[in-house]
Structure 1
Amino acid sequence: MASATTKDLSDVAAVGGGVGDTYGEDRGSEDQLLTPWTFSVASGYSLLRDPRHNKGLAFTERERDAHYLRGLLPPTISSQQAQEKKLMKNLREYQVPLQKYMSLMDLEERNERLFYKLLIDNVEELLPIVYTPTVGEACQKYGSIFRRPQGLFISLKEKGKILEVLKNWPERGIQVIVVTDGERILGLGDLGCQGMGIPVGKLSLYTALGGVRPSACLPITIDVGTNNKQLLQDEFYIGLRQKRATGQEYADFLHEFMSAVKQNYGEKVLVQFEDFANHNAFELLAKYRSTHLVFNDDIQGTAAVVLSGVVAALKLLGGTLADQTFLFLGAGEAGTGIAELIALEMSKQAKAPVEEARKKIWLVDSKGLIVGSRKESLQQFKKPWAHEHEPVKDLLGAVKAIKPTILIGSSGVGKTFTKEVIEALCSFNKKPLIMALSNPTSQSECTAEEAYTWSKVI
């Protein structure tokens, strides 16, 4: 296969440019920056199979001559805008969201620039396809729809060799890693190795909405097994067919991973822990926050978004944060993370100890209202929310007892904000704030329509 020569270098910008200005993609590779006199670019058939540089029918006459594409493409030249119009027409003809998801993933694998152009220009329509709720179904069926790797799979088979595995990834300038062990995917539970759809989807959004270079993003799935019996018996499951590693074995494996990441990519690489189970998420964040640049979206990211929503809603509710009484359904990573950030902001605004602010916030878990009499049996991250109160077994009872002004759902259990619950909330609130946050949509505590209808605020 012929490769580009020196005379072709003037045409390289036409192939490698375009999206670079829009998405922050570096024009040159590391090799080009270090040794520009040896710069080369894929050409001909291999260029059409390179998703980063392939432009499909958008290659101009000049580019087709310079890069040996004559005969490999039909004679028509179709702009990126025309291709986008055609693809959106095709996507809209699909009736099943998962078919749309698979079509978009196919596009990303053959024409990365067009994929992000499509996503940016149609974000409201495509966001539910690329991420929740459709990505949840994609993860459940990931083994059946798997075609080619979109990130790194690091399993227990690679114990002692994780650094070598990281070096197998072709990009060196990694800035953001989103990693999951698949134990708590959305509200769907343990999906093991098939949780890869979450890091892939999240990083696609970081590029489309945040401007992070695609080549700087690395999705990783840590496969330590799964306790999902259905997956273990599924002939198409792509992960380790064993029960999850726990305890010291798990801790040692994650420590090797974190050490290898730092060694391979440096201290400035951001590691985002995604969809880890509660018992691991808090420990990992606490363990590595002083040695690595780490972030947990479920604990910290969700909390920041919800706090901003609550602050915005105060314009309608009236009063300050300290004037509100909060009741959460769900006391996991998201629930306790949101509660703590609200308490910290309340403490800052009121210039009072955070312990006092926490007393305005109540949590309900699967066993009922978290109260002082349960403190000895609670997980460590729930203990700050065990206030003195008589036991209450269910959400409806908690609503009537606590009389919250703000009700927040992070339980991962659908249909739990019932008509009775919302009517009880409205009996002592003219304008209650109801935030049903669990996803995918099937696991949401209630729909927006139900909240509006039952509260009769409209």
Structure 2
Amino acid sequence: MESTLKEMRDGASVLDMDPKSTVGGGVEDVYGEDRASEDQFVTPWTFSVASGYSLLRDPRHNKGLAFTERERDTHYLRGLLPPTVLSQELQEKKLMDSLRQYQVPLQKYTALMELEERNERLFYKLLIDNVEELLPVVYTPTVGEACQKYGSIFRRPQGLYISLKEKGKILEVLRNWPEKSIHVIVVTDGERILGLGDLGCQGMGIPVGKLALYTALGGLRPSTCLPITIDVGTNNEQLLKDEFYIGLRQRRATGKEYAELLHEFMSAVKQNYGEKVVIQFEDFANHNAFELLAKYGTTHLVFNDDIQGTAAVVLAGVVAALKLIGGKLADHSFLFLGAGEAGTGIAELIALEMSKQTKSPVEETRKKIWLVDSKGLIVSSRKDSLQHFKKPWAHEHEPVNNLLDAVKAIKPTILIGSSGVGRTFTKEVIEAMASFNEKPLIMALSNPTSQSECTAEEAYTGTQGRAIFASGSPFDPFEYNGKVFVPGQSNNAYIFPGFGLGLVISGAIRVHDDMLLAASEALARQVTKENFDKGLIYPPFSKIRKISAEIAANVAAKAYELGLATRLPRPENLVKYAESCMYTPVYRTYR
């Protein structure tokens, strides 16, 4: 108590905690500060933060006009704020009104990023309470434009930049980050940002956006999330000539130089943060993405959202869609346009789920799934020239050169696009799907919107309103013959926040394919009859925190079942436990 009074006299603010709630000999933060992800609980029950003018410049503790009269007196804020006291709810209303005035999505993005730098809790309150409206701003499609213009809109660093200049010093760089307890790292090398290609160092917008969603949708504390960009150069000539480009001005490093930098990074992360830190690979080019996942999957807790997250969310949509199109998973045939990390990742997870349901070997269930790449249908006669990750999908069939002919030859019930090339599901392709399917399932997954294989309007009109449609980027509802169709969004944000939370609350040390299947099954179960009646195969994002808790519980349960969980004993009710661990952005009371 004496030290607390001294801190207050010295101008330090003291955060009000509840001394009665204790867990494992420590303190539970009743404000939702992610108790399960703490390996050590902190005592005493109060801790100090800055005061006065410095407090208003501290985004984690600043409340703006929500500081009460008493707090303004106690913490030297008198005169530093206008006299009005506003509730957090009124602040939120004011900011949403302001955001809605902007006509350009990138302006909304910039305004939100500035809010995060000013008042972290208010930023997350806005995002959580208005998730369906703001998700397209902080994530796809607007984040793609933000990355393209990141050099121009760059204000202050929001994560760690590790370039070739830091080779041999990466551990020191990690130690420069002020937070010592990190649970999730999202890392990119910027080579394949969405469908926009090589954006080099400017790809940082992706890890920043993903981690904002980890907090808003999955409930991980912001301080435990770390965005990282590995800068090995860029092959984008436009950026190399751009005077505002913020990265290394050189061609991309490859081969041994690249592998050594990544290995040093992975080793340093494990050394600095331990074995239970989730490392999410994001937007790496195909050749590196598969190699890194294979290389570090057995030694680190790694997850590739483009391969595994996309696969889990698409599988969930397919499983849910069976309620509308009928039959079991094994009754259907699949045709993919795009055989990169997303396409092959989705195909493999569908094959695994089919194998699990039918008790057939996965080699057999793969035969129900066909892939088309830039050279046509992947068939066995092409095997010698195929990249290793495409070879399992080379089935016996005569060569087919284009998608339309492949659709006519294979007659799939489900068409999935992961090509990164816009408008490739032509009118003829969609009409062909409608000619032999009562309710064709069409999933145009490429991001951003400009790269989508087809629009919702094209899918519904080309099938006379019979298609079940989902896309990667959002489309507005569409009216056809007097009926309003609400397109589903097959968005990775359904899966990765809950998946990451499940890994953290169980203390998992490795990711297993069965955990991905568990995440998909949990998401598919959240689709209600009311959603199906609208033609939706995904639940609304307005319920995303509840959905994330269900996914986290299912993933954690699988981790315990597989013996990969380290947080013991296992909680009795994993859903309630997941919910109790989630960060909530309501303001705290200061003494």
- TM-based fold match above 0.5: yes
Equivalent of 1:241 in 235, 249, 252: 249
Q: Percent identity?
A: 82
Q: For 1:252-263, what aligned pairs fall within 5 Å after superposition?
A: 252-263=260-271
1:24 matched residue in structure 2: 33
* C-alpha distance in 2 between matches for 1:73 and 1:15: 25
1:359 alignment partner, SS class:
helix
Q: Aligned in 2, Cα 1:158/1:430: closer, same or farther, shift over 3 Å? A: same
2:366 matched residue in structure 1: 358
Equivalent of 1:53 in 58, 61, 64: 61
The question of whether the paired residues in 1 share the 8 Å contact of 2:12 and 2:48 is answered with: no
Are residues 1:417 and 2:417 paired?
Answer: no
2:162 alignment partner, SS class:
strand
- In the TM superposition, residue 318 of structure 1 has moved relative to its aligned partner by 1.4
2:344 alignment partner, SS class:
helix
1:260 alignment partner, SS class:
helix
Q: Aligned in 2, Cα 1:177/1:98: closer, same or farther, shift over 3 Å? A: same
The question of whether the paired residues in 2 share the 8 Å contact of 1:32 and 1:39 is answered with: no
What one-letter code is carried by the residue in structure 2 that aligns with 1:12? V
1:322 alignment partner, SS class:
helix
Using the size of structure 1 for normalisation, the TM-score is 0.95
Which segments of 5 or more consecutive residues in structure 1 lack a partner in the other structure?
A: none
Equivalent of 1:79 in 87, 108, 116: 87
1:448 matched residue in structure 2: 456
The question of whether the paired residues in 2 share the 8 Å contact of 1:23 and 1:207 is answered with: no
Q: Aligned in 2, Cα 1:57/1:268: closer, same or farther, shift over 3 Å? A: same
- In the TM superposition, residue 24 of structure 1 has moved relative to its aligned partner by 2.6
2:446 matched residue in structure 1: 438
The question of whether the paired residues in 1 share the 8 Å contact of 2:59 and 2:118 is answered with: yes
Equivalent of 1:115 in 109, 114, 123: 123
Equivalent of 1:98 in 102, 106, 109: 106
Which segments of 5 or more consecutive residues in structure 2 lack a partner in the other structure?
A: 19-28, 467-591
1:186 matched residue in structure 2: 194
The question of whether the paired residues in 2 share the 8 Å contact of 1:32 and 1:38 is answered with: no
1:158-203 deviation line (CA, Å, top 9, x unaligned): 0000000000000001000000000010000100000000000011
2:230 matched residue in structure 1: 222
- Could you tell which deviates more after superposition, 132-141 or 425-434? 425-434
Equivalent of 2:212 in 201, 204, 211: 204
2:265 alignment partner, SS class:
helix
Aligned residues: 451
Are residues 1:33 and 2:35 paired?
Answer: no
1:391-417 deviation line (CA, Å, top 9, x unaligned): 111110110111100000001111011
Using the size of structure 2 for normalisation, the TM-score is 0.74
2:116 alignment partner, SS class:
helix
* C-alpha distance in 2 between matches for 1:397 and 1:44: 70
1:179 alignment partner, SS class:
strand
- In the TM superposition, residue 322 of structure 1 has moved relative to its aligned partner by 1.0
1:327 alignment partner, SS class:
strand
The question of whether the paired residues in 2 share the 8 Å contact of 1:278 and 1:333 is answered with: yes
The question of whether the paired residues in 2 share the 8 Å contact of 1:185 and 1:195 is answered with: yes
* C-alpha distance in 1 between matches for 2:288 and 2:351: 23
1:12 matched residue in structure 2: 14
What one-letter code is carried by the residue in structure 1 that aligns with 2:227? P
- In the TM superposition, residue 13 of structure 1 has moved relative to its aligned partner by 2.8
- In the TM superposition, residue 40 of structure 1 has moved relative to its aligned partner by 2.9
> In angstroms, what is the RMSD of aligned CA positions?
2.2
2:313 matched residue in structure 1: 305
1:136 matched residue in structure 2: 144
Are residues 1:175 and 2:183 paired?
Answer: yes
* C-alpha distance in 1 between matches for 2:46 and 2:223: 21
1:266 matched residue in structure 2: 274
* C-alpha distance in 1 between matches for 2:198 and 2:414: 30
- In the TM superposition, residue 147 of structure 1 has moved relative to its aligned partner by 0.3
- In the TM superposition, residue 388 of structure 1 has moved relative to its aligned partner by 1.1
- In the TM superposition, residue 319 of structure 1 has moved relative to its aligned partner by 1.2
* C-alpha distance in 2 between matches for 1:365 and 1:33: 54
The question of whether the paired residues in 1 share the 8 Å contact of 2:7 and 2:13 is answered with: no
Q: For 1:345-424, what aligned pairs fall within 5 Å after superposition?
A: 345-424=353-432
1:407 alignment partner, SS class:
strand
The question of whether the paired residues in 2 share the 8 Å contact of 1:23 and 1:208 is answered with: no
Equivalent of 1:155 in 129, 151, 163: 163
2:14 alignment partner, SS class:
helix
* C-alpha distance in 2 between matches for 1:402 and 1:350: 22
The question of whether the paired residues in 1 share the 8 Å contact of 2:12 and 2:75 is answered with: no
The question of whether the paired residues in 2 share the 8 Å contact of 1:4 and 1:67 is answered with: no
1:72 alignment partner, SS class:
coil
Runs of 4+ in 1 over 6 A off after TM superposition: 8-11, 29-32
* C-alpha distance in 2 between matches for 1:231 and 1:135: 17
2:122 alignment partner, SS class:
helix
What one-letter code is carried by the residue in structure 1 that aligns with 2:263? H
* C-alpha distance in 1 between matches for 2:145 and 2:155: 16
Higher relative contact order (CA 8 A, sep 6+): 2
* C-alpha distance in 2 between matches for 1:457 and 1:43: 60
The question of whether the paired residues in 1 share the 8 Å contact of 2:187 and 2:280 is answered with: yes
Q: Aligned in 2, Cα 1:39/1:312: closer, same or farther, shift over 3 Å? A: closer
* C-alpha distance in 1 between matches for 2:251 and 2:12: 56
The question of whether the paired residues in 2 share the 8 Å contact of 1:300 and 1:337 is answered with: yes
* C-alpha distance in 1 between matches for 2:93 and 2:47: 35
1:79-138 deviation line (CA, Å, top 9, x unaligned): 111110100000000000000000000000000000000000000000000100000000
- In the TM superposition, residue 457 of structure 1 has moved relative to its aligned partner by 2.8
* C-alpha distance in 1 between matches for 2:310 and 2:164: 30
Q: Aligned in 2, Cα 1:157/1:317: closer, same or farther, shift over 3 Å? A: same
* C-alpha distance in 2 between matches for 1:7 and 1:140: 46
1:381 alignment partner, SS class:
coil
* C-alpha distance in 2 between matches for 1:142 and 1:380: 34
* C-alpha distance in 2 between matches for 1:266 and 1:153: 20
- In the TM superposition, residue 15 of structure 1 has moved relative to its aligned partner by 10
The question of whether the paired residues in 2 share the 8 Å contact of 1:226 and 1:240 is answered with: yes
2:246 alignment partner, SS class:
coil
- In the TM superposition, residue 336 of structure 1 has moved relative to its aligned partner by 0.2
* C-alpha distance in 2 between matches for 1:297 and 1:230: 28
* C-alpha distance in 1 between matches for 2:170 and 2:370: 42
Q: Higher helix fraction: Structure 1 or Structure 2?
A: 1
The question of whether the paired residues in 2 share the 8 Å contact of 1:25 and 1:214 is answered with: no
